[in-house]
């Protein structure tokens, strides 16, 4: 690729002759979100590839790991995909021994999802990759960045889903200090 030396307006002036910095800052956030997410997804993807899995499998593993006993309906609600989309990856994960189902004790129509030992190993391996990257990023972002970032990300979630997510992530000091409650479905009472 050739390089040209051309001077170019770096920060084009807004309508009033001054840079539209507020807007630019918000747009920068949008672009950063894109790049950050792109790379956030990337380390796990490499590992998943070795198993013949994709991101969809990762998401299922993750949320089942974090919420053992999750029902299929809950997972659908978390992922916001259709039953058929989920079915495909879930079936694979079950067939290959990463996820086990147990019938609900109270409601035997429910299939409560759990990770097997094998599933837990993979889920943790993937989680550790992401945790590592996030940890480093927060360190380099300075004190208070974690708190601020969580608040920002939380506020980016569609209003109607925030309660649900807040319960789901069950963070020690949740974004708005609401009392934490039972995860989406979770635990329940089973486990004989």
- 145 touches a copy of itself by CB under 8 A: yes
Contact pattern from residue 96 through residue 115 relative to a copy of itself, giving x for each residue in contact according to CB under 8 A and a dash for the rest: ----------xx--------
Q: Which of 13, 28, 97, 101 binds a copy of itself (CB under 8 A)?
A: 28
Find the shortest distance in angstroms from Cβ 110 to DNA. Answer: 4
Residue 91 is a binding residue for DNA (CB under 7 A) = yes
CA distance 14 to 162: 36
Other beta carbons within 10 angstroms of residue 74's beta carbon come to 22
Of residues 14 and 97, the one with the C-beta less far from a copy of itself: 14
Burial class for 184, CB neighbours closer than 10 Å (0-12, 13-18, 19+): buried
Binding mask 35-64 for DNA (x = CB under 7 A): -----------------xxxxxx-x-----
With CB under 5 to 8 Å by kind, the binding choice for 129 among a copy of itself, DNA, none is none
Counting contacts by CB under 8 A, is residue 92 touching a copy of itself? no
Output the CA–CA distances (angstroms, integers) from residue 6 to 3, 10, 44, in the order listed.
9, 11, 40
Please state, in angstroms and rounded to a whole number, the distance separating the CA atoms of residues 125 and 129. 7
Give the Cβ contact number of residue 48 at 10 Å. 20
109 is a site residue for DNA (CB under 7 A): yes
Separation of alpha carbons 57 and 113, rounded Å: 14
Residue 162 as a binder of DNA (CB under 7 A): the answer is no
- Write out the binding residues for a copy of itself, residues 47-86 only, by CB under 8 A: 59, 62, 66, 73, 77, 80
What are φ and ψ of residue 19, in 5° steps? -60, 140
């Amino acid at each position: 690729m050739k390089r040209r030396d051309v001077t170019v307006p770096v920060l084009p002036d807004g309508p009033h002759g001054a840079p539209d910095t507020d807007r630019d800052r918000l747009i920068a956030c949008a672009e950063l979100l894109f790049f950050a997410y792109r790379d956030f997804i990337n380390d796990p993807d490499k590992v998943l590839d070795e198993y013949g899995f994709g991101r969809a499998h990762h998401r299922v593993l993750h949320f089942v790991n974090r919420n053992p006993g999750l029902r299929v309906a809950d997972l659908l609600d978390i992922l916001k995909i259709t039953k058929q989309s989920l079915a495909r990856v879930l079936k694979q994960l079950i067939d290959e021994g990463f996820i086990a189902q147990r019938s609900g004790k109270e409601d035997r129509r429910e299939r409560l999802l759990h990770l097997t030992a094998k599933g837990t190993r993979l889920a943790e391996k993937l989680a550790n990759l992401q945790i590592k990257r996030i940890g480093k990023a927060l360190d380099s972002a300075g004190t208070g960045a974690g708190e601020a970032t969580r608040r920002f990300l939380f506020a980016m979630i569609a209003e109607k889903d925030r309660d649900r997510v807040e319960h789901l992530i069950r963070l020690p000091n949740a974004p708005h200090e609401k009392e934490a409650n039972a995860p989406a479905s979770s635990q329940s009472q089973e486990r004989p």
